[in-house]
Amino acid sequence: MPLRLSERAEIVSPLPLLTAHDARMLGIRIDPKTWRRIRRGVYVDRAAYEKLQPWKRYAVRVHAFVHANPDAVLCLESAAVFHGFPLFGETRDIHVLGDPGEKARHAGDVWVHTSEVARSVERVGGVLVTSESDTVADLCRVLPTAKALCLADSAISPVQGGTVSIDDVCDLLDAQPSKRGVARARWVCAHADGLAESPGESISRAVIMWSGFEEPELQSEFHYEGHEDRVDFHFRSGRVIGESDGWQKYSLGDPAQAAQKLADEKRREDRLRRNGHPFARWDLGEAMRVKPLCTTLKDAGVPQMRPAQPAMLATLRSSPRELPRVPRETPKAA
């Protein structure tokens, strides 16, 4: 089953936070070898923190900030943590909405943003955040295009638990006096598709589009041998089926259940092949690197209908709002 926004949302910190006050009360010595300082007076288990996926490390940092600043209104990526919108990598800064009349400012890893246009604010898990629609509109203006498309898809996808109206997002963009990033955001709104069921599918769709391949149909259904099979992508001209793996597709807690799911998927693929469908399968990492996905599609017989768009494909490598990646022993996609 696709991962829903409510399951991605980090309403509670991925790791317990230890404050200096609690450490004194409990008689815990804060040894830097054991405890990592996240914010002034807030610590987490160092080893556990270093094992977290980058977006979860960011969630820990956001929760530590909220612990110290409970009345702050989170926006942009910091609000996305609570809404469950997909993020890639570890966002560099904490983003906060300033009060009317305040000046925008940056101190340490905290940005305070201001705007002439008010944002809708709500509480999620007791924390003040900009609304889902405002968060999507704001992020679509600043994120690299492919990542913004991924976010917009998730926000409007019923299967992912999205409830945002893309028309509402467009209205919010119209209301902004500053036009910075609006052209990019409008492109995203025009191409967002609520049929996308995972971030991997959204990124793959962007790569397919910008590489000039035939436009696929999403979530097509086939009925063979008494079974109903729904597929991620269907390239009609050659009957090619494309599947984007990853994002915990087979990582179930029960090994027997995971093995059964893998066996069922193999039988499904064999059934579709028997009935005349070439099959192309790739994962998120291959889509992000572009060339492996393109090779897989070409090998399966998917035609390229238009010239590639190198400038758009280059946005997949753009991470100006993220910290440099730190190698981990067992890297995984989320």
Same domain assignment for residues 159 and 298: no
Note whether residue 324 is domain-resident. no
pLDDT for the residue 114: 94
pLDDT for the residue 72: 98
Question: 């693929």: which residue's tokens?
Answer: 269
pLDDT for the residue 102: 85
Q: Which helix (H) or strand (E) holds 240?
A: strand 240-245
Distance CA 8, CA 81 (A): 8
Which residues, 6+ apart, have CB-to-CB distance to 94 below 8 Å? Answer: 61, 62, 65, 74, 78, 109, 110, 111
Question: 């572009």: which residue's tokens?
Answer: 290
Note whether residue 182 is domain-resident. yes
Same domain assignment for residues 83 and 109: yes
Distance CA 220, CA 222 (A): 7
Query: For residue 213, what is the DSSP state?
Result: B
Note whether residue 313 is domain-resident. no
Same domain assignment for residues 30 and 140: yes
Cβ atoms of 113 and 76 within 8 Å: the answer is: yes
Note whether residue 327 is domain-resident. no
Same domain assignment for residues 175 and 256: no
Same domain assignment for residues 71 and 154: yes
Same domain assignment for residues 133 and 69: yes
Note whether residue 314 is domain-resident. no
Which residues, 6+ apart, have CB-to-CB distance to 232 below 8 Å? Answer: 197, 201, 204, 218, 219, 242, 243, 244
Instruction: Give per-residue pLDDT as tens, 22-56.
Output: 999 999 999 999 999 999 999 999 999 999 999 99
Question: With a cut of 70, which residues of the chain have pLDDT below it?
Answer: 1, 246-255, 326-334
Determine the Cα angle at 24 with ends 21 and 30, to 5°. Answer: 95
Strands 110-113 and 94-97: parallel
Same domain assignment for residues 174 and 235: no
Note whether residue 125 is domain-resident. yes
Same domain assignment for residues 152 and 301: no
Classify residue 190 by burial, with Cβ atoms within 10 Å: 0-12, 13-18, 19+.
Answer: exposed
Query: For residue 325, what is the DSSP state?
Result: P
Same domain assignment for residues 24 and 57: yes
pLDDT for the residue 329: 44
Show which of 167, 201, 235 is a domain's final residue.
201
Note whether residue 315 is domain-resident. no
Same domain assignment for residues 72 and 195: yes
Show which of 168, 201, 234 is a domain's final residue.
201
pLDDT for the residue 333: 37
Which residues, 6+ apart, have CB-to-CB distance to 219 below 8 Å? Answer: 195, 197, 230, 231, 232
Cβ atoms of 268 and 285 within 8 Å: the answer is: no
Distance CA 261, CA 248 (A): 12
Same domain assignment for residues 188 and 217: no
pLDDT for the residue 40: 95
Same domain assignment for residues 294 and 218: yes
Q: Domain of 271?
A: 213-305
Which SS3 state, helix, strand or coil, does residue 179 take? coil
Show which of 177, 201, 225 is a domain's final residue.
201
103 forms beta bridges with none
Distance CA 16, CA 214 (A): 48
Note whether residue 152 is domain-resident. yes
Cβ atoms of 110 and 93 within 8 Å: the answer is: yes
How many domains does the chain fold into?
2
Name the H helices within the chain: 5-8, 20-26, 46-51, 54-68, 76-83, 132-142, 145-156, 166-174, 182-191, 199-210, 255-274, 284-289, 291-300, 310-313
Q: Is this structure's pTM higher than 0.85? A: yes
In 3D space, the residue among 24, 52, 56, 49 whose CA is nearest the CA of residue 35 turns out to be: 49
Which residues, 6+ apart, have CB-to-CB distance to 139 below 8 Å? Answer: 76, 77, 80, 85, 148, 151
